[in-house]
Chain A
Amino acid sequence: MQYLLQKMVHGLLLILGVTLVSFILMVWFGPDQTYTLIGKNATPEQIEDIGRQLGYDQPFALRYANYVGDLFTFNLGASNSSGEQVSSILRKTIPVTLALMIPGFVLGNLLGIALGLTAAQHRGRWADRLITGLSVTGMSVSFLVIIIVLQVLLSTPYGLNLFPVRGWQVGDPLSYFRYVTVPTLSLIFVTLGYNTRFYRAVFVEESGKDHIRTARAYGASSASILWKHVLKNSLVPITTRVMFSIPLVVISGSLLIESYFGIPGVGKVTFDAITNGDQPVLKAVVGLTAVAFVLIQVLTDFVYKLVDPRIT
C-alpha cells in the first residue's frame, strides 16, 4: 500500500512536471493558431476575437490550472481546427496506430534479441562483426529513405507491386496484412540496428558474469547457457527498454510512417496539431503520454518482479 502511494505521488509529480514544461513550450514557443484561423483581410478586432476564443488572453497560471484540471477530469475539449472532440479523435486514431505499430515493434525487438544473442555468442568473430556492421549501416540510413525505397520496391510497378503504396482500408485480417506489411518492414528495418546493438551490449555484459562462468564450468551446453542464463538474466534491461518504448512508439514513432503511408493514426494527428498550434489536441496527447509513462513505470516494477523474483 505504501509502495503504491509512493508511486502515485511520484507519478503525480512527473505528470505535473511534464505538463508544465510542455505547456510552457506550447504557449511561448508554439505556433499562434490565431493567424491560421483568421480569414483574408482580417481586422485587428477579428484577430483579437479569435485570440480570446482560443484563450490566449488568459493569464498563464490560469490556463495551466485549467489544463491540469481538464486532464484529470478527462475533459479534453474540442480541436480548434476541426471542432471534433479530442476524446473522439483519440478513440479513432489510437487503435489504428497500435495496430500499425505493434507488429513492427514486436518483430523488431524479437529479431534484435535474436541477432544480439547471436552476436554476443560469437563475440569478436565474423558473425558478430557482420551483425554489428549491418546494425550500424541500418542505423545510418534515414527512415525516410527506407520508407521510399520499400514503397518503390514492394508497391510500385518499378518493383514487385505486391502491396498498396499507402492507405488503411482495413476490413479483415487479409487487408490488414496487405496494408501493414510495408510499414512494418520499414519499422523493423529502422529499429533493428538500434535494438541489436543494445541487446548485444546487454548480452555481452551478462555473458561475462560469474554465474555464466560457473555454468560453463559445470559443463552446461552453450544453448542452455544462452537461453537459461544469459537471456533470462537479461530480462530486466530488456523489459525496461521495451516498456519505456511503448508510449514513444504510439506517438512519435508512427509520425513518418503515418504520413507517408496515409494512415489516419495518432502520430499524424499529433504532427498536424504541432504545426497548426492546435493546443487542445496537443495538450491531450502530451498529458496522456505522461500518464502512460507513469502507468508503465508502475507496471514495469511488477514485470521486474515477475522476471526476477529477487527484486522486492
Chain B
Amino acid sequence: MTCWGKLNRVTPYKQKIIAVCLSLGALLVLSACQESADVQNTANDYSIYRHSMDGAPASLDPAQASSIYANFLAVNLYDTLYRYKYLARPYQLEPNLAEGLPEVSSDGLIYTIRIKPGAHFIDDPAFPEGKGRAVSARDFVYSIKRQFDVKTRAQGAWLWQDRIVGLEDWKEEGSDYDQDVSGLKALNDRTLQIQLISPFPQLTHTLAQGYSAIVPREAVEFYGKEFAIHPVGSGPYRLQAFDSARAVLIRNADFREEPLSLEAEGYNPESHAHLGLELLEGRSPPFTNRIEIEFISEDAARWNSFIAGELDFIKVPVSQFDQVLQQRDPPRLESSLDEDYHLLANLESGFVHTDFNMDDRRIGYHPDKTQNARNRALRCAITKAFDWQKRNEVFYYGIGQVFPGIIPPAAPEFDPGQDMGPVTRDLEGARTLLTDFGWNAENLPVLEYGFPASVTERQMFEQFRSFMGEVGYPQEKIRPLTFATYGDYARAYLNREVMLTTIGWTMDYPDAENTIQLFYGPNSSPGSNSANYNNNEFNRLYRASSGIQPSPMRTTMYRNMNRIVLDDCATISGVSRRLILLWDKSKVMLPDRSFLGGFFFRFVDSVQHAEEGNEAEQ
C-alpha cells in the first residue's frame, strides 16, 4: 500500500490533529523568522561590513556606555562633540559635531563650544510627525544632565563629578530638567558654555566619549526605559536590529557631508600605505551601507565564523595565535592567511595589574610603624618574586608589553627609558627582604587572591602561587577567593574584602591622569582606587597636576607619582596586552578595539565600493 493510501485510512479526527500540528509547526517557523529588512543574503554584498565583538552591550543608552562594546555602538549611533583622529597615534582629538576645539578662558575654567549647523536627529516616532529635528546645544546640556539624574542609572557621572559648577546642586534639588545649571548653558542653539569648578584639562577628552553622546529629550521621554534599545541619534548610523546575538546598523543617509582628508586624520604612508586608504580621500563618510556586528564571546565560535568567511574582522583569540602567527616579534601572519587578511598587532590602551588591598592590616597600612615597614617589605618581596616574563609568555603569548608602574605604554606620558627593575624577577632580593624583616613560613600571613571563576583566572592564581612558592611562601597560605560572577567580585573588592585584586583597566582617554587616578586616596573603594592606596605625597602631586595642561612639567609630576607607587609596592604592575586584529583584504579600513577607537566604523569601505565611488566621481 502506498503512503497516500495509508494516509487515506487515517480517521478524519486524526487527520485534523495532523493538520493542526503541521499548521502550528509552520506558524512557529514563521514567528521565529526575523523581519525581512533584517534578513539579507549578505555573503557577497560588498556594501556590508561584518564586525565581531567578544562581548555584547546590554544597553544602547549612551548614559550606560561603560563597556567597550556599548561605547562602540554609542559613538556610531550618536554624535559626540569630539572624536579621535582615525589614523593618528598617539590619539589626537578632532572636532566631530563641534565646529572647532573649545575656546578656553585664560583661567582654564570656561569652555565655549560651537556646534556645526545642519546636524539632525534621525526620523523617529518620538518627534512630531516622525521627522527628526536639528540638534541644538540644549540637547548637549540635557544629555550631560541625564548623567546626574538618579533615574537614568547613568555610569558616566564620575567624569564630571565635582567638575562643573552647579551640577551636583541640580541633582540634589531633584534633577528637574527645566531648571538651569549655572555651569552648563546653551547660550543659543549652536553655542554652549561649560563653567568648571577648577581647571580640568581632560574635559575635551570626556566630550569624545560615548557617555557625552547627544540624545534628544523627546526620545528619552517617549520610550522611557526602552530608550536603551531604541537609539535616536544623529550619528553616522542608525539601528535596524538589536538582540543578544547581534546588532545591525544602517547608514544614516542624512549624516552631514564631511569629505575625508587623510592628512588631517593622521595618515602616515609608512604604516598605512598598504591598506588602500587612499581610495577614500575626499569622499564623505559613512561609506558602508550596513554594518552587522556579531556578539560572540566564545573564542572557538568566533574563530570558526571568521575563517568560514562570515566575518570581515576579528580580534584573534589567544588560543589561535599559534595558528595565525608565523613570527611573534614583530608579529607576522602565516603565509596561508597573508593573502586574504590584513594584520594589526595593537597594544591595548590600558593594562592589567594586581593590587594589594592597602586597607588590610595583614598586608597594607598598619598603625604600628614597625609592622607597617614589615608589611611594605612583604609586598616588595612579593613583587620581586613575581615573574612578569613567565606571565607574559603563558597568558599573553609573550607579545604583551611589561612595564613598571601605572602609566601604560599607550599613555603619552609613558617613559620608555624607565628602569625595568620593578618588573624584573629578583628571587634573591625577595628572600633577603623577607629575612631582614623577620618574615618566615610560620608568621607569613595567609594571602587571599581574588578572582571571578574561570579557567584562565584559576591558572593565573596557580601561577602566582608557584611564583611565591619559590621564595618559601607556604602554598597553603596562598588561597583562592573565587566569585561566581564579575559583579560578585566587584562587590567584594569595592567593599575592601579582597586582599589581592587583579584588574584590567582600559583607558577612557589618552592621558595618564586616567590611570594615575586609580591610586589617588580620595578615589578609594568604592571608587576606582581598589588598592585603597593613600600616600600624602602622591595625593599632593595628583592635586597639583590636575589643573595643568599637558606639558613636560606635568609629565614629570606623573612619573614621580608612578615612582611613589612603585616604591610603596602597592601594586604588582603591569602588562599591556597586544591584540592581534585580522580583517579581510576586501575591506579598506584600519580597525581599533579600544575605548578611543570606536569611531572608525564610519570610515570602513570595501575596495570594490571605494573604486566604484571614485570612478563615479570622475
Contacts and interface: CB of A to CB of B under 8 A. Distances in A.
A264 B158 contact: no
B226 A35 contact: no
A264 B153 contact: no
18 contacts: A32-B487, A32-B488, A39-B154, A41-B161, A42-B527, A46-B157, A50-B153, A53-B150, A83-B225, A84-B225, A151-B304, A166-B304, A167-B246, A170-B39, A264-B245, A272-B58, A277-B485, A277-B487
B39 A175 contact: yes
Interface stretch (B271-279, B295-303, B344-352, B362-370): B295-303
A152 B304 contact: yes
A157 B340 CA distance: 14
Interface in A54-109: 78, 81-85, 92-93, 95-96, 98-100, 102
A168 to B, nearest CB: 7
A78 B59 CA distance: 13
Interface string B1-37: 0000000000000000000000001001101111010
A155 interface: yes
A61 to B, nearest CB: 24
A172 interface: yes
B38 interface: yes
Contact of B28 (A84, A99, A152, A172): A99
A84 B308 CA distance: 33
Given A32-B491, A276-B487, A264 B246 contact: yes
A172 B59 CA distance: 30
Contact of B229 (A82, A155, A170, A176): A82
Contact of A168 (B36, B150, B245): B245
Given A81-B59, A152-B304, 7 more contacts: A32-B488, A164-B308, A168-B34, A170-B39, A260-B301, A272-B244, A277-B487
Interface residues of B, number: 63
B305 A165 contact: yes
A312 interface: no
Contacts of B560: none
Question: Which of B29, B157, B161 has the largest number of chain A CB atoms within 10 A?
Answer: B29
B543 to A, nearest CB: 16
A263 to B, nearest CB: 6
Contacts of B488: 31-32, 35
A105 B225 CA distance: 37
B526 A43 contact: yes
Contacts of A99: 28-29, 31-32
B301 A169 contact: no
Interface string B516-529: 01000001001110
Interface in A167-196: 167-173, 175-176
Nearest to B493: A35
B226 A261 contact: no
Contacts of A19: none
B155 interface: yes
Interface of B: 25, 28-29, 31-34, 36, 38-40, 42, 58-59, 61, 64, 66, 150-151, 153-158, 161, 224-229, 243-246, 294-298, 300-301, 304-305, 307-310, 484-488, 490-491, 494, 508, 517, 523, 526-528
A166 to B, nearest CB: 5
A259 interface: yes
Given A41-B528, A260-B301, A166 B228 contact: no
A161 B156 CA distance: 45
A100 B243 CA distance: 16
A141 interface: no
A176 B33 contact: yes
Nearest to A266: B244
